[in-house]
Structure 1
């Protein structure tokens, strides 16, 4: 096995961008998880939701030049800050990762990137993220965006102190919904907070599914998760989280007076969530990973519901 192959995590997706990059770059691109784009999508979609809901709050269709610029900035920011968060997480979790079959091939535990190199790389990504934040030119959004670093910094330690690290991930990964709404409107209202709460429930569902891949290794090394906490009751809990997510995201749209077409479009997204629950087998790691990745499509359906509803009314 070559060094590059050994450095590829077991659940990685083949990515031509990473595989065709110069060999010296590849470990850093994998440290950013560019070979595993699902996390970037799950960080990005809440930003789009917040932007679209912000347009609805201003009673206008989503799609102005400002909206397009913000979508682009949020997209770049999601790639960069997801990379920074993953790098920091790997620095903190390097000993845990070395003990888990699925993660021991990551750049730090495999030796492809040193801890010092990872720290410098993380700082560089954070500085790029700061530049992107400043380009929003909205101090409410900039301050909110910068404050997310507190959530990011605390996340790797949550699995050591609470059975609910997935809840903290929800707080962290969906912060972009708040930032996106503020970037559009310059403020935060009850609809934005309902959207945020609903997305936290969404994350609790999909990340519990994801955590079932590692539950045996986690039990051996003492890592806590909702997958271990809920155990055989996980399917019921995930169903409950998805119902709460659907209800709160729907209510957020109603609060901003989005038209009835929103209900029809959201029912499609809700059906996709219920499909995940029906298909779930918590003892089938491959299926858990497939269903976790399917939430990229859930996000696309919610984004379509919000954006199209601002057009149709």
Structure 2
């Protein structure tokens, strides 16, 4: 009897012996509360293992010569939602090994959630915000100092005529170029101020222009008029340094604010007279060029123009915009060629003119008139068209 009791005790100890735990242990926060034991799970007593899931990673390993045993362990799906010990729902992306990784979400590493890229850095602030004093900043924005492309478009026609009026084999008058450069900045600023004063009610209804200083109310109309007078006063000493004919033509640039009027003033400032065979084709070319880039520019606001009833060339030409601006571009190139021929420019002028023609053709053929950003990019690129024509006139005059 003693021998049988000893054998039974040894068998009981052997039945209750647990196999070693798996090498990977779940984080306690990820373990669900264990289910209460029931007699159905142990039909043959506590030593009989209960049902085991098919993918149980805690399945027991073989122990000596005995048959394989599988013990019930709390399971947690790898890619499904689960609950912590307090009953709170855990994210579906939590991995079994998340508590072992120092870079897991919420594990003290990177705080960026998985499958989410970090936010893009903010765009750089305009140079006006960095260098212009706060009190003067609205006036700088009113004069469009932060957008110099308009100044370039205004300055190039006058630069063309000054270079064309130079003596053969000589560089153009640098002092005159500097005066017209400063005058272009002031005239362009005055023109933008007048435009914003007259159109401030319309600008409030257009998405692109509603943040302008006068439209947004940062500046009052009285302040705008005062700033306009200040710009015209600064331009007066520049005008007084020109000859009499230029002084007569000069105020027209302030009153009419015609971008290509500088072609007439530049030649008059150098020669004291107007040569119609040279200047009229040059002036006409500038007008046709303006119709090309200004129509492309107008397509940025055509949806707002329809709402508020503005009659722009973009709406007038409609689906026929590209044929129209192609015609203006061809007229621009033809008049530039005629003006250069009448001015006796040498052969280097014409390769530059061909390059400018290719640039203009590229603009017209590739612009997406339904994309405001693309229209703006093509508009801004016109400063390079003006630079090509100026380079051609300069080289043509030096070689002639």
Q: In structure 2, what is the Cα distance between the partners aligned to 1:236 and 1:14?
A: 38
1:142 paired residue among 247, 252, 268: 247
SS at 1:24 equivalent = helix
Q: Give the match for residue 218 of structure 2.
A: 112
Given the alignment of the two structures, is residue 48 of structure 1 paired with residue 135 of structure 2, yes or no? no
1:79 and 1:18, CA in 2 relative to 1: closer, same or farther beyond 3 A?
farther
TM-score (norm 2): 0.67
Shift of 1:60: 4.7
Contact 2:197–2:221 (Cα < 8 Å) also in 1: yes
> RMSD value over aligned CA atoms?
1.3
Deviations 1:243-302 (A, max 9, x none): 100110111010011112211121011111011012111101111000000001101101
Deviating more after overlay: 85-94 vs 257-266: 257-266
| Aligned residue in 2 for 1:69 | 175
Length-normalised TM-score, structure 1:
0.86
- Aligned counterpart, 2:106: none
Q: Which runs of 5+ in 2 are unaligned?
A: 1-123
CA deviation map 1:68-87 (0-9, x unaligned): 00110001101111101101
Gaps of 5+ in 1: 1-12, 153-171
Corresponding residue for residue 234 of structure 2? 128
SS of residue paired to 2:395:
helix
Return the match for 1:238 from 317, 321, 325: 325
Q: Deviations over 1:192-232 (max 9, x none)?
A: 11100011000000000000001110111111111100011
2:268 to 172, 177, 182: 182
2:51 corresponding residue in structure 1? none
Q: How many residues align?
A: 276
What SS class does the counterpart of residue 134 from structure 2 fall into?
coil
Is the partner of 1:212 in helix, strand or coil? helix
Q: Which has the higher contact order (CA 8 A, sep 6+)?
A: 1
More helix per residue:
1
Contact 1:202/1:242, CA 8 A, preserved across alignment:
yes
Higher mean alpha-carbon deviation, 21-30 vs 142-151, is at 142-151
Find out whether 1:31 has 2:31 as its counterpart.
no
Larger Rg: 2
CA-to-aligned-CA distance 1:125-154 (integer Å, 9 cap, x gap) = 011112111122x111111111223313xx
- Name the counterpart of 1:87: 193
